[in-house]
Amino acid sequence: MERPESSGGASSSAVADWSLAFWTLCSVLLPVLITLWCSFQRSRRQLLMREIFRKSKHDWHYTDLFGQPSYCCVCAQHILQGAFCPCCGLRVSEGCLKKADQLFLCKEIMLRSSGGAPSAMPHHWIRGNVPLCSCCQVCKQQCGTQPKLCDYRCVWCQYTVHDDCMVDHLKTENCTFGEFRDLIIPPYYLSTINQMRKDKRTSYEKVVPYCRKHWTPVIILANTRSGNNMGETLLGEFKILLNPVQVFDLSKITPAKALQLCTLLPCNAVRVLVCGGDGTVGWVLDAIDEMKIKGQERYIPQVAILPLGTGNDLSNTLGWGAGYAGEVPVEQILRNVMEADGIKLDRWKVQVTNKGYYNLRKPKVFTMNNYFSIGPDALMALNFHAHREKTPSLFSSRIINKAVYFFYGTKDCLVQECKDLNKKIELELDGERIELPDLEGIIVLNIGYWGAGCRLWEGTGDEPYPLARHDDGLLEVVGVHGSFHCAQIQMKLANPLRLGQAHTVMLILKSSKMPMQVDGEPWAQGPCTVTITHKTRALMLYPSGEQTDDEASSVSEQDHVREQTDEDV
């Protein structure tokens, strides 16, 4: 009688074990299956959205969270995530994308007309999601205060109007293009130019929009990979305020191609805003030099800078600041560009010729805007560059970049890899041999700032020296004792070894391999001859009412001389 009971207990135990195993398997597999299903649906949704984005005339971008309260322009529902167009400002939910393409037109970069070339265009109104703190052009009261899709904004002049204030004549009246009419390339202008090109006419300067005398259209060139990665955000903000055709992403198009837009605009009228670091500025200036070679000198633009890089010494020298982190509204940046004054910048040719009887290589040729150096600061730049090439994702902010520079500078203080440079190199200024003291580095300056904001030539400012200018055809040559000496100079605790000023500089590296750099582009160089000569001058801009570093230095020196005169009297 005991056997059936034992067999029954064993079978119930086996069922319990199988049940436990089944539910354990379900608890493991179910989350995996749900995750795979969600991933499949997400991939499918993203594929469908990409297909819609590709076919759409809008420049759609998807975001998981809008930066301000937003409402779908189609269904008028409140949305936290969805798609937005940085050109016209439309915001829609994911499910309304196709309908938005059918209902709303994006900014037209060029008007299509079957008749003659148009000379004006009406407002292009978009309802809802008006900028915060905007004001109605009719009643002068604040717009966008209600928690719903309300009020209108013109995508060209940026005027905002209440729903109740929107009358029929506003829908049909011509757009004035608002505050930035002098910077915007209107669509009807491009239509006129297109017709003139078909008729083989090239007198574009006669086609000035709005009948204005001081039309200075601006071209935006933004490097989305520079410094603090703000380029993508700036591109969208500039596209809203300007014609999208005049805003370029340098990660997708070269400056040489983008600047060909200048040839469709009036001569000597175009201004270019470069959003990036000093390297990006040099890239754009090289493209402008190519325009001179092609015989397009009359279309050469003037260049302003929005500093997004790490050092930004050229931007600092020309009065545009040491770095931009979004603290100034884009509207104010455009005002500064519109009111900026012209100035010239010397550009220099750096030729590096390797030594040796059997050397058949062509000399390396660089263009210098900021400075050339050999020694510890070039070594820091070389180590930084090598580290960034290995792990580019780590170098996403200006603070991290400077921290890495500090690490390699501290390391060189202990190792002193550039020791006894004066025994390995000869220096000639305008053909005259210079006796070198004991030093580890030589820096040849074209601009006032060096090393992310340090005025190297002036040092502590306690000794009067000839002014350092960026437009006088002269280079300033200084020496440093090492990385620690560079740090002391940056803290204004020491002066550099001023070796002189010259129109032509020659350095002869007699032996060993040494680090060199031109405007932050470093390399390791063996025995060679480095010759620096004047190449050309670039047309730059500096903010109106601001003093460039040279003018500030001139004023300070005059004050110093005046104080000495008063003391003598």
Between residues 43 and 313, the one the model is more confident about: 313
Residue 282 confidence (pLDDT) above 90:
yes
Average pLDDT, the chain: 83
In the structure, what pLDDT confidence band is assigned to residue 173 with cuts at 50, 70 and 90? Answer: confident
CA pair distance 376, 413, nearest whole angstrom: 9
CA pair distance 398, 311, nearest whole angstrom: 9
- State pLDDT tens for residues 424-440: 999 999 999 999 998 98
What pLDDT is attached to residue 11?
72
* Alpha-helical regions (H) of 205-329: 231-241, 255-258, 278-293, 313-317
Domain with CATH 3.40.50 in the chain: 180-187+213-339
In the structure, what pLDDT confidence band is assigned to residue 222 with cuts at 50, 70 and 90? Answer: very high
Amino acid present at 248? F
Q: Which residues pair with 537 in a beta bridge?
A: 346
The C-alpha angle 310, 314, 319, rounded to 5 degrees, equals: 105
In the structure, what pLDDT confidence band is assigned to residue 569 with cuts at 50, 70 and 90? Answer: very low
Amino acid present at 561? V
Per CATH, domain 180-187+213-339 is 3.40.50: yes
Q: What is the mean pLDDT of residues 173-194?
A: 87
| Fold exhibited by the domain 121-178 | Wheat Germ Agglutinin (Isolectin 2); domain 1 (3.30.60)
CA pair distance 114, 118, nearest whole angstrom: 10
Residue 530 confidence (pLDDT) above 90:
yes
Tokens 């003139």 correspond to what residue?
A: 196
Per CATH, domain 42-106 is 3.30.40.10: no
Residue by residue, what is the 3-state secondary structure of 70-114?
EECCCCCCEECCEEECCCCCCEECHHHHHHHHHHCCCCCCCCCCC
Residue 226 confidence (pLDDT) above 80:
no
Pairing of strands 247-249, 302-307: unpaired
Its pTM stands at 0.83
CA pair distance 36, 29, nearest whole angstrom: 10
Q: Which residues pair with 142 in a beta bridge?
A: 135
In the chain, the percentage of residues whose pLDDT exceeds 90 is: 36
Tokens 């603070």 correspond to what residue?
A: 399
What secondary structure letter does DSSP report for 244?
A: G
Pairing of strands 425-429, 82-84: unpaired
Residue 2 confidence (pLDDT) above 50:
no
What pLDDT is attached to residue 395?
58
Domain with CATH 2.60.200.40 in the chain: 347-536
Domain with CATH 3.30.60.20 in the chain: 42-106, 121-178
Pairing of strands 218-222, 505-509: unpaired
In the structure, what pLDDT confidence band is assigned to residue 189 with cuts at 50, 70 and 90? Answer: confident
- Residue 8 burial class via C-beta count within 10 angstroms: exposed 0-12, middle 13-18, buried 19 and up: exposed
| Fold exhibited by the domain 347-536 | Tumour Suppressor Smad4 (2.60.200)
Q: What are phi and psi of 181, to 5 degrees?
A: -60, -30
What pLDDT is attached to residue 557?
46
